[in-house]
Amino acid sequence: MNEGRLIFTQVSDLLDRKQFERCINLHPMPRASRGMSARDQFLAMLFAQLTFRESLRDIEACLRGTTHLHAMGIRGNITRTNLAYANKHRDWRVYEALAHVLIRKARRLHADDSNGLDLDEIVYAVDASTIDLCLSMFPWANFKTTKAAIKLHTQIDLVGSIPVFISLTEGALHDVNFLDEMFFEAGSIYVFDRGYLDFARLYRIVEAGASFVIRSKKNTIFSVHESRPVDKSTGLRCDQSIRLSSAKGMKSYPEKLRRIGYFDEETGKRLTFLTNNFALPALTVAAIYKNRWKIELFFKWIKQNLRIKVFYGTSENAVYSQIWIAICAYLMVACLNKAYGLDESLSRILQILSVNVFQKVPVNELFTTCKSEKSGKSDSNQLMLNGF
């Protein structure tokens, strides 16, 4: 079905054209660019993400030097000036809306994956990552007196490591404020690092009928109401029912909490968790927190593999547009992996795509060929070693 079509086109077709148009209509451009439509801009910037382009000049040179623009779906005039204008003036929320369309698709495709916890409940990890910027070039990104930054606040589903909700803010905004934007699903479990320890906000999760797991701080004042026996050979140190003792704590969180102490042999650290879930085994609570590191891997992956540390424009709109299109690229790669049954790491998929975007073969055939070549090289090397 895809024979004779560019690899790039097969990737971009993961986003339905009608859904794309609806996203564009939600946030129309005050003064539309005749030389470049929103789709042209998105495809050019997606190409930049997939092939690791360094600048607008680099994008222009690569796309204007190819005869495949029409086959890629690009109809406009791809120039550095047109791209710069579109990045600065076309509302970044168009690409945020596109990302949410892809999030729904990726979650459907990854629905049968395991989160590694053997739980029926959906487990979400929440964290933020700072993207450093130059203060002289990005003065709008408030962070510190000598440095600018923006913050990527993210909630991911631990099944498939798919981002569910993302918010971009200036770097100076504290992580815990992200909780005010979140919608909490009844029956789900939310896991946080201790930077999100705000008992009034955590109590909103309780009122929503959901559960949380969070690291405790040393200065938390509480009284122990009950202690349950634990097997210390498993790393557990305590399993207690507690109540907050400070006046502010009792007002913010009037119910009991569960406090679990755990010694991590891998790191040599003693960790203390707080949760409102009294039904889960204590070791499962510790395992839920350990799986929170999947969100750290998500941040590491997008920073290492996508263009979100060097920007093609300096305006807030250009930066936000680039980040949202990068997130779309991540989601497209995640969808591609499942839709074509590739069973490859996302990094390897991106590497293969980056040098084959102009190939005219079906995606699954491309990866089958690459896998065969890799296997052949391994067999050849093995024969040489045995011969030696």
**Per-10-residue mean pLDDT, the chain, length 388:** 80 92 88 80 96 94 90 91 93 96 94 84 95 94 92 94 94 94 95 95 96 94 94 94 94 96 91 96 95 93 93 96 96 93 90 94 87 56 38
**pLDDT value of residue 376:** 56
Backbone angles phi and psi of 156, in degrees to 5? -120, 150
Task: Compute the C-alpha angle 15/332/315, nearest 5°.
Answer: 85
**pLDDT value of residue 303:** 94
Give residue 347's identity as a one-letter amino acid code: S
Is the pTM above the cut of 0.85? yes
**pLDDT value of residue 32:** 65
Domains and CATH numbers, the chain: 7-95+313-372 (no CATH), 115-299 (3.90.350.10)
C-beta separation of 146 from 171 below 8 A: no
Report the alpha-carbon distance of residue 174 to residue 115 in Å, rounded: 28
What Rg, from alpha-carbon coordinates, does the chain have? 24
**pLDDT value of residue 29:** 78
At 118, is the secondary structure helix, strand, or coil?
coil
Report the alpha-carbon distance of residue 315 to residue 83 in Å, rounded: 13
**Does residue 209 come out as left (phi exceeding 0), alpha (psi in the -120 to 50 range) or beta?**
left
C-alpha dihedral (250, 254, 256, 259), degrees to nearest 10: -40
**pLDDT value of residue 3:** 60
Strand order in the sheet with 257-264: 162-170, 148-157, 123-133, 189-192, 211-215, 269-275, 257-264, 236-244, 222-228
